[in-house]
């Protein structure tokens, strides 16, 4: 259940703020409400879901401040991820990276928007997995989900997404064993993602939750 909900979030089919009713989920997944509550509580700990007393569970809606925190954390973590991967890369890992890039290119060629957004987030999780540090992987999973929710909320263009060319450039630097270049390319890539979002609280991007939520 958690992985199907997560996939729907990563494919932008379930949008931030969507109510996740216990009864409906119990019937969709043919399980008990107790089990649904347990899964939602776990997803809340991973910040994917927000729980409100009386009102229930909703797909999380990161505020602008939370979104900025996410990008700051990614800038600290992801250069470390690629640095570690350059040290531990082998032929099997290179094949997996190349297979992923091919899947991303195919999704884009087929104009499969759902697969494109999901795969572009998964690229970053794959790097953390291949780098071989389980704590980094866990953090990257959470940050990737929060980024995905942030993109749904604050994208300025219809097609905000990782650019597969930039992913390719990072992979090439990793394969070449050029750690410094891979780290720089990753930081530039994160700048581009963040730059395509409206994270200034200007007229258009007014964050009502932030302004009115905590009175
Ligand atoms: Zn990316």
Helix (H) or strand (E) holding 190: helix 179-195
204 CA to centre of ligand 1 in angstroms: 26
Residue that the structure tokens 């925190």 belong to: 69
18 CA to centre of ligand 1 in angstroms: 25
Percentage of the chain beyond pLDDT 70 is 90
The number of beta carbons lying within 10 Å of the beta carbon of residue 126 is 20
120 CA to centre of ligand 1 in angstroms: 5
| pLDDT tens readout for residues 131-161 | 999 999 999 999 999 998 988 888 766 555 6
Average pLDDT of the residues in 162-189: 94
Tell me the CATH class for 2-59.
mainly alpha
pLDDT of 207 above 70? no
Phi and psi of 49, rounded to 5°? -130, 145
153 CA to centre of ligand 1 in angstroms: 18
| pLDDT tens readout for residues 58-94 | 999 999 999 999 999 999 999 999 999 999 999 999 9
Q: Is the four-CA dihedral 9, 15, 17, 18 of positive or negative sign?
A: negative
Strand order across the 49-52 sheet = 19-20, 56-59, 49-52
Per domain, the residue ranges of the chain are 2-59, 64-195
Say if domain 64-195 classifies as CATH 1.10.645.10.
no
Query: What are the angstrom distances between the C-alpha of 199 and each of 156, 166, 207?
Result: 9, 22, 10
43 CA to centre of ligand 1 in angstroms: 23
127 CA to centre of ligand 1 in angstroms: 10
- The answer to whether 2-59 and 64-195 have equal CATH topology is no
């Amino acid at each position: 259940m958690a992985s199907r909900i997560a996939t729907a979030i990563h494919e932008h089919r379930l949008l931030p703020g969507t109510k996740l009713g216990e009864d409906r989920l119990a019937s969709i997944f043919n399980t008990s409400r107790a089990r649904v509550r347990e899964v939602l509580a776990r997803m809340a700990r991973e910040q994917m879901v927000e729980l409100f007393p009386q009102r229930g569970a909703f797909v999380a809606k990161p505020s602008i401040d939370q979104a900025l925190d996410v990008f700051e954390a990614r800038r600290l973590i992801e250069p470390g991820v690629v640095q570690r991967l350059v040290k531990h890369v082998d032929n099997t890992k290179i094949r997996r990276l190349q297979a992923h890039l091919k899947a991303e290119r195919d999704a884009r060629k087929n104009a499969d928007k759902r697969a494109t957004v999901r795969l572009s987030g998964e690229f970053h999780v794959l790097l953390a997995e291949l780098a071989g540090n389980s704590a980094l992987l866990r953090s990257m999973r959470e940050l990737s989900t929060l980024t995905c929710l942030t993109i749904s909320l604050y994208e300025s263009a219809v097609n905000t997404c990782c650019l597969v060319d930039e992913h390719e450039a990072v992979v090439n630097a990793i394969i070449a064993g050029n750690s410094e270049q891979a780290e720089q390319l990753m930081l530039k890539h994160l700048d581009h993602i963040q730059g395509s979002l409206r994270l200034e609280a200007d007229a258009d991007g007014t964050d009502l939750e932030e302004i009115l939520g905590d009175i």
